[in-house]
Amino acid sequence: MNIEELRTSLLNTNKNGYTRITAEQKAEMNTYCKGYMAFMDAAKTEREATTWAVQAAEARGFVALKPGMDVKPGDKVYLNNRDKSIILAVVGKQPLSAGANICAAHVDSPRMDIKPNPLYETDEIAYLKTHYYGGIKKYQWVTIPLALHGVFCRKDGTVVTVNIGEDENDPVLYVTDLLPHLAADQMQKTGGQIISGEMLNIVMGTEPLEGEGSDLVKLHIMKLLNEKYGVIEQDFLSAELCIVPAGKCREIGLDRSLIGAYGHDDRVCAYAEMEALFNIDVPEKTAVCVLADKEEIGSVGISGMQSEVFEYFMGMLCDAQGVNMYHCFQNSFCLSADVSNAHDPSFAETEDRRNNSQLNYGVAICKYTGSRGKGGASDASAEAMGHVRKTLDDAGVIWQIATLGKVDQGGGGTVAAYMANRNIVTVDAGVPVIAMHAPIEVVSKLDCYETYLACKAIYLA
């Protein structure tokens, strides 16, 4: 063999995905991404994503799974977990003792939550106090248009949905920053201290009601909220209100190859695995799609991936077939579908270029996450990685490898460890993202589409 032949036969080469897709695939990619962008405009919180998923599932013939229900191959079922997370399944030809093919993503994203006693007035400006949720660079969340999403649960138990700042006729909300002219002291601070958590206060208004006494601006805001939503100040105590960037997602770049949106992490994978589930024939093994909440704060709580609601759902399916759920888990596989950091030439010093994912190179497979000496990582086995590699190659999916930054630079985690703890073989994979956890994150259309194809291939494996 000459050197060129040796090179091609022995060395690992990877090419930009655009050199590997056909015109037909590119058209499919664009159609898929239009659907994804519509989903993103409708679903900025876990609640909104769950609502969207329930409606989309029911429109495709999925029914709510109930204890004691009969399930047969081809049945489509779902469990709405208290409007905050959802699990869906298409029952396979083989019994659940053969295991399930699972894709698990999360639908919560970093943001600012409203505190339980948030509304106050100071110096004749009314504000809402916030508590940030997930890992954010606080200085990124000032001086941008913001929207309020969530629910009030009133004293009589009725729940009212709140959405302010998305309709083009709505006002938007705002957090202030200091003018550079007076920022001599501020600019000496470290990035984490430039804007502190207690500075993330939402400007709600400045016009006082006519009358005597204090807090007339605050009273005005409360009056407006009461007129629109029928709530009083105490209703903030039983509310879940989130501050997210206002506005729709947009194509980025003159070639429109990128999508900028709030919360690609991880709704870009959530949408991929949901659409994949909606577009498969009856699979060999039962295909399960998990859209979890609370990943950004440790997958905890009743709606997080550590919740036994997963066992509740899988237990119902297994009971219906007289299968021991532990046997099902033993033979199951899970793709933990979550985003990775895309190579950014402006910050290349934070990455190991040889092991970092890159825009337009397809779905990024990640053997381990964690920090320092792989702390907190699930760390998939060689065999598990081999299974994914073969499955994606056989299906013609464009994929690449990913690790999260240079060793000792930082780190992160996903739901992978919590699925693996259940005795389910688990591998991380997802869409590479630029500026993860920023108010507007960026992904490539090609990677979104290949992640959808990857989820499909996993369900059908």
Nearest to Mn ion of 48, 266 (CB atom): 266
Q: Would you say the C-alpha torsion 266, 174, 241, 411 has a positive or negative sign?
A: positive
Rounded CA separation 292/104 (Å): 7
Nearest to Mn ion of 148, 339 (CB atom): 339
Nearest to Mn ion of 99, 263 (CB atom): 263
User: Cβ 49 to Mn ion, closest distance in Å?
Assistant: 13
Nearest to Mn ion of 114, 305 (CB atom): 305
380 and 426 in contact (C-beta within 8 Å)?
yes
In terms of C-beta density within 10 A (0-12 exposed, 13-18 middle, 19 or more buried), how is residue 457 classed? buried
302 and 309 in contact (C-beta within 8 Å)?
yes
Nearest to Mn ion of 275, 338 (CB atom): 338
DSSP state at residue 342 = B
> Measuring CA to CA, which residue among 419, 267, 432 is closest to residue 355?
432
User: Cβ 410 to Mn ion, closest distance in Å?
Assistant: 12
Residues lying near Mn ion in the complex (CB under 5 A) are found at: 265-266, 338
Nearest to Mn ion of 317, 339 (CB atom): 339
Judged by DSSP in three states, 258 sits in strand
User: Cβ 22 to Mn ion, closest distance in Å?
Assistant: 31
Judged by DSSP in three states, 28 sits in helix
Q: At what angle do helices 23-42 and 445-460 cross, to 10 degrees?
A: 90
Rounded CA separation 339/358 (Å): 12
Q: For strand 333-337 and strand 363-366, is the pairing parallel, antiparallel, or unpaired? A: unpaired
Q: 174: which strand partners?
A: 203
User: Cβ 269 to Mn ion, closest distance in Å?
Assistant: 8
In terms of C-beta density within 10 A (0-12 exposed, 13-18 middle, 19 or more buried), how is residue 341 classed? buried
User: Cβ 403 to Mn ion, closest distance in Å?
Assistant: 15
Nearest to Mn ion of 305, 320 (CB atom): 305
432 vs 266, 359, 376, 450, CA distance in Å? 11, 6, 21, 11
Nearest to Mn ion of 75, 266 (CB atom): 266
User: Cβ 458 to Mn ion, closest distance in Å?
Assistant: 18
Nearest to Mn ion of 266, 273 (CB atom): 266
User: Cβ 368 to Mn ion, closest distance in Å?
Assistant: 15
434 and 359 in contact (C-beta within 8 Å)?
yes
The two structure tokens encoding residue 376: 């907190």
- Residue nearest to Mn ion according to CB distances in the complex: 266
End-to-end C-alpha distance for the chain, whole angstroms: 36
Q: How many CA atoms lie within 13 A of 122 on its CB side?
A: 9
Helix (H) or strand (E) holding 33: helix 23-42
Nearest to Mn ion of 125, 435 (CB atom): 435
User: Cβ 339 to Mn ion, closest distance in Å?
Assistant: 5
Q: For strand 432-433 and strand 340-341, is the pairing parallel, antiparallel, or unpaired? A: parallel
The two structure tokens encoding residue 132: 């940030």
User: Cβ 405 to Mn ion, closest distance in Å?
Assistant: 14
User: Cβ 461 to Mn ion, closest distance in Å?
Assistant: 23
Nearest to Mn ion of 77, 417 (CB atom): 417
User: Cβ 338 to Mn ion, closest distance in Å?
Assistant: 4
Nearest to Mn ion of 240, 338 (CB atom): 338
154 and 237 in contact (C-beta within 8 Å)?
no
User: Cβ 430 to Mn ion, closest distance in Å?
Assistant: 8
291 and 79 in contact (C-beta within 8 Å)?
no
Rounded CA separation 18/360 (Å): 7
